[in-house]
């Protein structure tokens, strides 16, 4: 597989004036053609900012300070506005947690889709309208011809997300960035959306970056996973390896704190103590050190780099406990 | 406790309908269950299943249309406002977003003292000590008493919300999605706190959640709600480990597991929950049910209780 997107050394700052601080530090994310990369983290981990940066969609308070994002031989961070807008309507698409942020509330769904189809330049008029209905059908919207004449607010949350996905795949994108697209949905509808994206991915060969707070969700769908904490990638590995043999204490802590049948019913959950740090006020050393049961002196003074520990896995940890130690309670 | 002591909460045939332009929302429709002292009753279902309305109807924050809610044997439905206010002391509510229940202009001390004052629980001279005791019970330092809600993280705010619920020494706390707004690494801390408070004070929980793994871990008994009716009810292991109702099965199969070797089957449940304004005839689940047959459209399946006290409402499964 060839690398489709290779993002290196991403640094993002946010805030204004003297309060401007670095909130994403030296992040690298890469995804191969057709692959699914899961990016998991809590609020403030920088996962969404990293995804938005790819498309030049950062909120006005944030900006890319350093880094490269190579996509088919071009650095996305060097594109001008017009090139970037073109890319967003063709090769790289994004879907968000709340589809209403991207759908036009006063425009019929069919017309919006027709516009997205026409933007590809291949179809227009009646052919574009027919393709729009075909797309609605393909994403599982019942009675697509009638639904095309409706407005976004007449759709349920799950149906709206399907419309967003139809808009996204209208251009047969090479990369789809999905930022918590199922977080607001019921678990049954979430399962349907995951299946839909997986199916479209198979059909169009689209690579997916799926950003979420839910490590369980990624288990069934991601090829590789990057775990983010306080603005950094702290661990990355093929999915199977990450769940069975994590090396970063934060990954291990997350896996252990998920209630599951491994634990006795009603027993205390092995929770991670403390709380995620404010990304604007980070001290020296590893940002996870104060919550980490394995921390040593060096962790509090020196930030660990993301280093390879096996063929495909990397972790940012000076201690690098064995998987058995990290999952002691779970096994 | 003797055999004649009534259960802490006994809900019988509870129905809550709302008149809206265009019809009647049948949010809760003939629901019955009981909660024993010191136990956790989990209520699960999709959004639109009526689980929040059911929680509010139990507390009489939403007045039920019909049915009975007995708390310590005393009927709450139709009770006069004065007596209800007194009894509410023993039944508290914890929200998903503690912001919704905390006044942003009041310090934690003011928030915690208000119920003590209103219900005349603690003499003025002892209130300061009581506030410190409540904060300690939820794992917060006493110095936090003079801070405002916005100064706290989400997890700390939920601890304050729980402390406020504890202030009146309730026997029952209705928790509506108490951890869903919290960061993943904080959720386990709050669950541990709730379990600890139950062991310490013997509190019962009506725990409303969409998260089946959480409910499976902390609930003693579980009810699965679909469009305002109970589909399945019983002990946590019976309902969530060997489910019988096709809806419970579908719901469980949709839950992702943190283990790539135990891949989820493809989504078994098609479509979305129908509108409670116009629920399907007969069994309300039949429009999405893989087992549905003729009878399901014409006859409402009764919730049949077996010898073990577990119950299922389905024509297709025995």
B9-20 and A3-14 as β-strands: parallel, antiparallel, unpaired? unpaired
Q: Cα A135 to the chain's mean position, in Å?
A: 24
Q: What is the pLDDT at residue A331?
A: 36
Q: B154: nearest CA in chain A?
A: A275
Q: Over the stretch B280-309, which tens digit does the pLDDT of each residue have?
A: 999 999 999 999 999 999 999 999 999 999
Q: What is the pLDDT at residue B294?
A: 97
Q: Over the stretch B178-234, which tens digit does the pLDDT of each residue have?
A: 998 898 889 999 999 999 999 999 999 999 999 999 999 999 999 999 999 999 999
Other CB atoms within 10 A of residue B34 CB? 16
Nearest CB to B267 within list A192, A214, A259: A192
Contacts of B254 in chain A (CB under 8 A): 187-188, 190-191
Q: What is the pLDDT at residue A330?
A: 44
> Would you state the torsion angle of the CA atoms of residues A268, A273, A278, A279, taken in this order, to the nearest 10 degrees?
-100
Nearest CB to B185 within list A220, A257, A266: A257
Q: Which domains does chain A have, with CATH numbers?
A: 3-226 (3.40.50.300), 248-326 (no CATH)
Distance from CA of B74 to the nearest CA of A (A): 30
Secondary structure (3-state) at A116: helix
> Is residue B204 domain-resident?
yes
Per-residue pLDDT of chain A (331 residues; tens, 9 = 90+): 689 999 999 999 999 888 899 999 999 999 999 999 999 999 889 999 999 999 999 999 999 999 999 999 999 999 999 999 999 989 999 999 888 888 999 999 999 999 989 888 888 889 999 999 999 999 989 899 999 999 999 998 889 999 999 999 998 999 999 999 998 888 888 999 999 999 989 999 999 999 999 999 999 899 999 999 999 999 999 999 999 999 999 999 999 999 887 788 999 999 999 988 887 788 889 999 999 999 999 999 999 999 999 878 999 999 999 999 998 864 3
Cα A150 to Cα A109, A127, A197, A293, B22, distances in angstroms = 6, 19, 23, 54, 20
Helix (H) or strand (E) holding B43: strand B40-44
A215: contact with B, CB 8 A cutoff: yes
Residues 6+ apart with CB under 8 A from A232: A24, A25, A26, A27, A46, A287, A306, A316
Please state the domain count of chain B.
Answer: 1
User: Is pLDDT at B250 greater than 60 in this prediction?
Assistant: yes
Domain ranges, residue B15 = 9-258
A331: contact with B, CB 8 A cutoff: no
Q: How confident is the model at residue B2 (pLDDT cuts 50, 70, 90)?
A: low
Contact B236 A265 (CB under 8 A): yes
B77: contact with A, CB 8 A cutoff: no
Nearest CB to B185 within list A240, A254, A268: A254
Contact A254 B184 (CB under 8 A): yes
Contact A271 B254 (CB under 8 A): no
Contacts of A273 in chain B (CB under 8 A): 189
Q: Over the stretch B167-188, which tens digit does the pLDDT of each residue have?
A: 999 999 999 999 988 988 899 9
Q: B183: nearest CA in chain A?
A: A42
Q: A223: nearest CA in chain B?
A: B260
> Is residue B313 domain-resident?
no
Q: What is the pLDDT at residue A36?
A: 97
End-to-end CA distance of chain B: 35
Other CB atoms within 10 A of residue A329 CB? 15
Contact B188 A276 (CB under 8 A): no
Residues 6+ apart with CB under 8 A from B16: B27, B28, B50, B53, B54, B57, B62, B63, B64, B65
Q: Smallest Cα–Cα separation from A43: which of A62, A23, A25?
A: A23
Mean pLDDT for chain B overall: 93
Average pLDDT over residues B108-113: 94
Q: How far is the C-alpha of B62 from the C-alpha of B307, rounded, in Å?
A: 34
In A, residues 232-261, which contact B (CB 8 Å cutoff)?
239-240, 243-244, 253-255, 257-261
Say what the ipTM of the complex is: 0.89
Q: What is the pLDDT at residue B272?
A: 83
B191: alpha, beta or left? (left if phi > 0; alpha if psi -120 to 50)? alpha
Q: What is the pLDDT at residue A329?
A: 60
> Is residue B316 domain-resident?
no
Contact A243 B259 (CB under 8 A): yes
Q: How confident is the model at residue B3 (pLDDT cuts 50, 70, 90)?
A: low
Q: B235: nearest CA in chain A?
A: A265
A216: contact with B, CB 8 A cutoff: yes
Q: B39: nearest CA in chain A?
A: A266
Q: How far is the C-alpha of A30 from the C-alpha of A272, rounded, in Å?
A: 29
Distance from CA of B187 to the nearest CA of A (A): 8
> Is residue B35 domain-resident?
yes
| DSSP label at residue B94 | E
B84: contact with A, CB 8 A cutoff: no
Contacts of A187 in chain B (CB under 8 A): 46, 210, 212, 251, 254-255
Contacts of A276 in chain B (CB under 8 A): 183, 185
Q: Smallest Cα–Cα separation from A238: which of A251, A225, A249, A219?
A: A225
The first and second tokens of residue A62, run together, are: 């944030």
A280: contact with B, CB 8 A cutoff: no
Nearest CB to B186 within list A190, A214, A275: A275
Secondary structure (3-state) at A68: strand
- Tell me, what CATH number does B87's domain have? 3.40.50.300
B302: contact with A, CB 8 A cutoff: no
Q: Over the stretch B37-57, which tens digit does the pLDDT of each residue have?
A: 999 999 999 988 999 999 999
A188: contact with B, CB 8 A cutoff: yes
Contacts of B267 in chain A (CB under 8 A): 188, 191-192, 194-195
**What φ, ψ does residue B123 adopt, rounded to 5°?**
-60, 150
Other CB atoms within 10 A of residue A96 CB? 21
Cα B97 to Cα B94, B150, B294, distances in angstroms = 9, 12, 43
Cβ–Cβ under 8 Å, residues A117 and A132: yes
Distance from CA of A63 to the nearest CA of B (A): 25
Residues 6+ apart with CB under 8 A from A281: A21
> Is residue B203 domain-resident?
yes
pTM, rounded to two decimals:
0.92
Contacts of B257 in chain A (CB under 8 A): 216, 219-220, 260
Other CB atoms within 10 A of residue A308 CB? 10
User: Is pLDDT at B265 greater than 80 in this prediction?
Assistant: no
Distance from CA of A219 to the nearest CA of B (A): 5
């Amino acid at each position: 597989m060839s690398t489709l997107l290779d993002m290196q050394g991403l640094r993002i700052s946010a805030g204004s004036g003297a309060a401007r601080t670095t909130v994403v530090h030296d992040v690298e994310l890469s995804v191969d053609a057709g692959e699914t990369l899961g990016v998991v983290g809590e609020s403030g981990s920088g996962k969404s900012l990293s995804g938005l940066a790819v498309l030049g969609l950062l909120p006005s308070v944030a900006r890319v300070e350093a880094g490269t994002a190579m996509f088919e031989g071009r650095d996305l961070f060097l594109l001008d506005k017009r090139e970037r807008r073109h890319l967003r309507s063709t090769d790289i698409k994004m879907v968000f947690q709340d589809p209403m942020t991207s759908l036009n509330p006063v425009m019929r769904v069919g017309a919006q889709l027709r516009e997205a189809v026409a933007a590809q330049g291949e179809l227009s008029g009646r052919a574009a309208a027919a393709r729009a209905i075909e797309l609605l059908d393909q994403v599982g919207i019942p009675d697509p011809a009638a639904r095309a004449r409706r407005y976004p607010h007449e759709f349920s949350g799950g149906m709206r997300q399907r419309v967003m996905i139809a808009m996204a795949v209208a251009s047969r994108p090479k990369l789809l960035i999905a930022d918590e697209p199922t977080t607001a949905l019921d678990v049954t509808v979430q399962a349907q959306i995951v299946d839909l994206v997986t199916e479209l991915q198979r059909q169009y060969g689209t690579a997916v970056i799926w950003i979420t707070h839910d490590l369980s969700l990624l288990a069934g769908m991601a090829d590789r996973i990057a775990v983010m904490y306080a603005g950094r990638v702290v661990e990355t590995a093929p999915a199977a390896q990450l769940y069975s043999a994590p090396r970063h204490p934060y990954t291990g802590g997350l896996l252990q704190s998920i209630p599951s049948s491994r634990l006795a019913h009603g027993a205390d959950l092995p929770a991670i103590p403390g709380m995620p740090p404010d990304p604007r006020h980070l001290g020296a050393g590893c940002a996870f050190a104060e919550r980490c049961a394995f921390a040593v002196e060096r962790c509090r003074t020196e930030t660990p780099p993301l280093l390879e520990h096996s063929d495909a896995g990397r972790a940012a940890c000076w201690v690098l406990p064995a998987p058995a130690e990290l999952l002691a309670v779970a096994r | 406790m003797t055999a004649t002591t009534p259960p802490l909460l006994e809900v019988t045939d509870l129905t809550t309908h709302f008149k809206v332009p265009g019809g009647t929302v049948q949010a809760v429709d003939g629901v019955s269950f009981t909660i024993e002292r010191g136990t956790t009753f989990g209520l699960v279902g999709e959004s639109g299943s009526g689980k929040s309305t059911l929680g509010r109807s139990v507390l009489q924050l939403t007045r039920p249309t019909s049915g009975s809610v007995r708390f310590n044997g005393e009927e709450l439905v139709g009770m006069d406002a004065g007596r209800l206010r007194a009894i509410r002391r023993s039944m508290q509510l914890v929200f998903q977003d503690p912001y919704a229940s905390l006044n942003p202009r009041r310090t934690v001390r003011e928030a915690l003292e208000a119920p003590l004052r209103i219900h005349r629980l603690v003499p003025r001279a002892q209130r300061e000590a009581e506030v410190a005791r409540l904060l300690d019970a939820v794992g917060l330092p006493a110095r936090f008493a003079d801070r405002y809600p916005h100064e706290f993280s989400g997890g700390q705010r939920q601890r304050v919300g729980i402390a406020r619920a504890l202030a009146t020494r309730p026997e029952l706390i209705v928790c509506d999605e108490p951890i869903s707004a919290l960061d993943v690494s904080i959720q386990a801390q709050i669950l541990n706190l709730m379990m600890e408070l139950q062991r310490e004070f013997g509190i019962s929980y009506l725990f409303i959640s969409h998260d089946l793994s959480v409910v499976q871990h902390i609930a003693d008994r579980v009810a699965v709600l679909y469009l305002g009716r109970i589909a399945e009810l019983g002990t946590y292991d019976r309902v969530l480990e060997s489910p019988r109702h096709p809806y419970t099965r579908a719901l469980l199969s949709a839950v992702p597991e943190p283990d790539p070797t135990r891949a989820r089957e493809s989504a078994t449940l098609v479509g979305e929950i129908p509108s409670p304004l116009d629920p399907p005839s007969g069994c309300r689940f039949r429009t999405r049910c893989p087992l549905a047959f003729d009878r399901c459209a014409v006859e409402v399946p009764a919730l049949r209780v077996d010898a073990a006290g577990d119950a299922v409402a389905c024509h297709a499964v025995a």
